[in-house]
């Protein structure tokens, strides 16, 4: 298939640049390949679409203040975006500067601390941060929240809470697992009260999630790598749900990618690993039976993933319907619940 097969027109005003007034106050498009149909709902209706024994799997990564501003020793201004924290004092970083920094060069951030360029790795730089604090501590003190580029504004005070899930606990992501932004504590309690189980994975979303697909034939695209962790308790929860006839629902494409990556050998495995899994139409899903997600960018790998899950033709029609009905798109936008298309 071609990248152009996953294109669609989106009016700029449908990009959600702010969250809804209340967490969970979004619309929900329910997509069902079995009936080749979709239905307009509200996110508040979500419990009616679940039954006892079902399992929701959430990504508990926490967004870090990954954007830094500073200057080189020569005085040239730089902007840095941490892609991944490697250790207590090193990180892989995207750097925007008039002239690319060289290994050995020292960079000063926020007029408060320095980092040394260790080496360049393709589009990224490995930096060694001032050992007086950990990377995460420097970022927490002087970094800024990295909102996605399509939001097209600087982070504001309200984003500190709203661009973070209510269950976030493992710091390391530079972008939120946005399907989870719809859930508040009351919704989680309501679902658990229905005997809908919950479990967690951790996948630290990297800045590469926003990198465009630059090739026309999607088979030539190479995914960025992301770190994930599947707890043994989550493996047990999946097995328990399947044994009692429950359906496994991934909350977000990150949860789905972690689960499917950990099941590549056939059985779901616990543990820490990296994934560059690229899911496109024709992929056979081993674990996930339902997917709760937001609307994704045209020509993106995530749109290819949801098309693989729900069926390419149905997803194209559903997106056209969402545009016509003026759904809100992307990170702060509305949600979709997609039933698995096991015929794909």
Confidence class of residue 206 from pLDDT cuts 50, 70 and 90? confident
Q: What is the pLDDT of residue 223?
A: 83
pLDDT value at position 62?
97
Question: What average pLDDT does the structure give for the chain?
Answer: 94
Q: What are phi and psi of 278, to 5 degrees?
A: -120, 105
Is the pLDDT assigned to residue 342 strictly greater than 60? no
Average pLDDT over residues 84-102: 94
Give the span between the Cα atoms of 325 and 41, in whole angstroms.
Answer: 12
pLDDT of residue 344: 37
Arithmetic mean of pLDDT, 243-266: 96
- Residue 80: the pLDDT is 96
- Who has greater pLDDT, 223 or 49? 49
- pLDDT reported for residue 150: 92
Domains and CATH numbers, the chain: 3-63+159-339 (3.40.1780.10), 67-144 (2.40.10)
Residue 83, helix vs strand vs coil: strand
Average pLDDT over residues 32-36: 95
Q: Which class for 187: exposed (0-12), middle (13-18), buried (19 or more C-beta within 10 A)?
A: middle
Confidence of residue 215 (pLDDT cuts 50, 70, 90): confident
| Closest alpha carbon to 224 in 313, 131, 128, 300 | 300
- What average pLDDT does range 21-46 have in this prediction? 97
List, for residues 281-317, the tens digit of each pLDDT value: 999 999 999 999 999 999 999 999 999 999 999 999 9
Nearest alpha-carbon partner for 30 in 340, 238, 336: 336
210 has pLDDT over 70: no
Structure tokens belonging to residue 113: 């601390």
pLDDT of residue 220: 85
Q: Is residue 23 pLDDT above 80, yes or no?
A: yes
Average pLDDT over residues 27-34: 97
CA–CA separation, 46 and 87 (whole Å): 39
pLDDT at 52 over 60: yes
Q: Note the pLDDT tens digit of each residue in 143-190.
A: 999 999 899 999 999 999 999 999 999 999 999 999 999 999 999 999
Confidence category of residue 209, pLDDT binned at 50, 70, 90: low
34 vs 224, residue with greater confidence? 34
pLDDT in tens, 217-253: 988 888 878 899 999 999 999 999 999 999 999 999 9
Q: How far apart are CA 29 and CA 8, in angstroms?
A: 17
* CA dihedral for 7, 12, 17, 19, sign (positive or negative): negative
State the Cα–Cα distance between residues 327 and 58, nearest whole angstrom.
24
Asked whether the predicted pLDDT for residue 139 surpasses 80, the reply is yes
pTM: 0.94
- pLDDT, mean of residues 318-329: 98
* Tokens found for residue 77: 């201004």
Summarize the confidence of residues 129-146 as an average pLDDT: 97
């Amino acid at each position: 298939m071609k990248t152009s097969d996953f294109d669609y027109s989106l009016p700029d005003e449908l990009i959600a640049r702010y969250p809804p007034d209340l967490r969970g106050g979004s619309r929900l498009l329910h997509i069902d390949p079995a009936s080749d149909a979709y239905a307009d709902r509200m996110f508040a209706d979500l419990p009616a679409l679940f039954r006892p024994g079902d399992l929701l799997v959430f990504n508990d990564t926490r967004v870090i203040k990954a954007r830094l501003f500073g200057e080189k020793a020569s005085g040239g201004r730089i902007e840095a975006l941490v892609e991944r924290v490697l250790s207590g004092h090193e990180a892989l970083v995207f750097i925007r500067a008039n002239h690319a920094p060289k290994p050995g060069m020292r960079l000063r951030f926020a007029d408060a601390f320095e980092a040394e360029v260790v080496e360049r790795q393709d589009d990224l730089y490995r930096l060694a941060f001032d050992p007086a604090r950990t990377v995460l501590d420097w970022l927490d003190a002087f970094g800024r929240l990295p909102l996605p580029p399509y939001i097209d504004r600087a982070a504001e005070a309200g984003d500190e809470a709203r661009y973070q899930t209510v269950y976030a606990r493992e710091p390391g992501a530079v972008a939120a697992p946005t399907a989870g932004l719809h859930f508040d504590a009351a919704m989680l309690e309501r679902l658990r009260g229905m005997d809908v189980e919950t479990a967690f994975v951790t996948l630290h979303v990297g800045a590469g999630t926003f990198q465009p697909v630059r090739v026309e034939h999607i088979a030539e695209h190479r995914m960025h790598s992301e770190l994930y962790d599947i707890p043994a308790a989550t493996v047990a929860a999946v097995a328990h749900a399947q044994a009692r006839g429950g359906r496994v629902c991934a909350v977000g494409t990150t949860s789905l990618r972690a689960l499917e990556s950990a099941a590549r050998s056939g059985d779901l495995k616990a543990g820490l690993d990296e994934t560059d899994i690229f899911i496109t139409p024709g992929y056979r899903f081993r674990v996930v039976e339902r997917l709760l997600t937001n609307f994704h960018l045209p020509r993106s790998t995530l749109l290819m993933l949801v098309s693989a899950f729900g069926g390419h033709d149905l997803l194209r029609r559903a997106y056209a319907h969402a545009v016509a009905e003026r759904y809100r798109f992307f990170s702060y936008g509305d949600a979709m619940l997609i039933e698995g298309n096991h015929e794909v």
